[in-house]
A = this chain, B = another copy of it.
């Protein structure tokens, strides 16, 4: 997976420095306004920031140069992603936000020329947004083959019927990638579903609601929708990759996707750490006696530093492994970081809030926003429990020749 046009080490450092300055001097000052504004008000502001990002060479950095990106390999992108994670809209502004980034990667790798022209190109240019409709409210995400959504072939069309939620950013999206069972009679249960490109809006499609998540239903990109497909028709050529390979593609997507999240979480951790340290030296408990003098606060800082350091080494190790040896070779390491970094994130945010006292509860810092929305980090893309089960099974395999443990 060597990327010919990837930047040199010096170019990467320069890019990171550019990103760091952009984040701190441009994005952080508008962060609070964006976090608490409505999407309709935010969108034009963000569009302008996107132009600045593009001008600085920060646009879609994971994409090939031919698509306007910087061709960063995963380990280099990991470092940039941490920088962008410092502020909630960092990735969006650089057009490398979920779920679009995953859709772009899949289309790049598996899309037909027509699919690329119709769906990928406007996405890479930032003209449209997209979503990914996989999770169903009726079924546990830990068992992806339990899926009710069906795509039935009629002539040259698939007719899609199903109920999805946590279809993030569906509000305003121009297309969805929909997981649906196309081959219900296939013996191998992981080969029953396909990923299908569905232009939006379209007859039979309903956005039921932007789900209220931790008190906010949000809007536009910053939302999680419940949607229904009730006889939605698309041409059979809208299948992404091979029919029946929906889960294989989902795996392709989730591996880098988890690394992307982990990178971003480390950026959040570093920001929370920065806020905690600032608070520690500024907040007086008595005249001349600051919070930083308290051993408990010092130990929150020390433990956070240790854990963030461990998290970063693990993420860089997994990213490097995946960049050089492919996703399968990094599967176990990805499971490690999905659990470790999500839990580190939760602990660091919790400590930073406690160090802020009442201020930590308010929206006057971004801590409370992350505290509530990133609680999901331990749930999505495989809950802690799912990954720990995977890790244990792989660890036990050499000891357990014929059998495997029940879950």
Residues on A lying within 8 angstroms of B by beta carbon are 36, 135, 137, 139-143, 146, 165-166, 211-216, 273, 277-278, 280-281, 283-287, 290-299, 301-303, 305-306, 309-311, 313-314, 317, 333, 336, 339-340, 353-354, 357-364, 368-369, 371-372, 375-376, 378-380, 383-385, 387-389, 391-393, 395-396, 398-400, 405-407
Contact = CB atoms under 8 A, between A and B. Distances in A.
A215 B212 contact: no
B405 A298 contact: yes
A210 to B, nearest CB: 11
A280 B396 CA distance: 8
A313 to B, nearest CB: 4
Contact of A277 (B215, B383, B399): B399
Contacts of A378: 354
Contacts of A360: 379
B314 A212 contact: no
B135 A358 contact: yes
Contact of A140 (B36, B284, B362): B284
A214 B295 contact: no
B361 A371 contact: no
A336 B306 contact: yes
Contacts of A299: 296, 385, 388, 392
A301 B391 contact: yes
A160 B293 CA distance: 34
A340 B213 contact: no
Given A294-B385, A336-B306, A361-B376, A392 B141 contact: no
A96 B393 CA distance: 36
A407 to B, nearest CB: 7
Contact of A362 (B212, B297, B398): B212
A299 to B, nearest CB: 5
Given A313-B314, A357-B383, A292 B391 contact: no
Contacts of A212: 36, 362-364
B358 A166 contact: yes
Nearest to A336: B306
Given A214-B215, A339-B306, A141 B293 contact: no
A284 B406 CA distance: 14
Contacts of A310: 310-311, 313-314, 336, 340
Contacts of A369: 215
Contact of A143 (B286, B372, B375, B406): B286
Contact of A361 (B142, B213, B361, B368): B213
B215 A400 contact: no
A376 B353 CA distance: 9
Nearest to A303: B388
B391 A280 contact: no
Given A378-B354, A405-B298, A359 B215 contact: no
A357 B141 contact: yes
A93 to B, nearest CB: 22
A39 to B, nearest CB: 15
A357 B380 CA distance: 8
A140 to B, nearest CB: 5
B277 A396 contact: yes
Given A166-B358, A213-B363, A380-B358, A353 B371 contact: no
A214 B358 contact: no
A286 B290 CA distance: 22
Nearest to A165: B358
A368 B295 contact: no
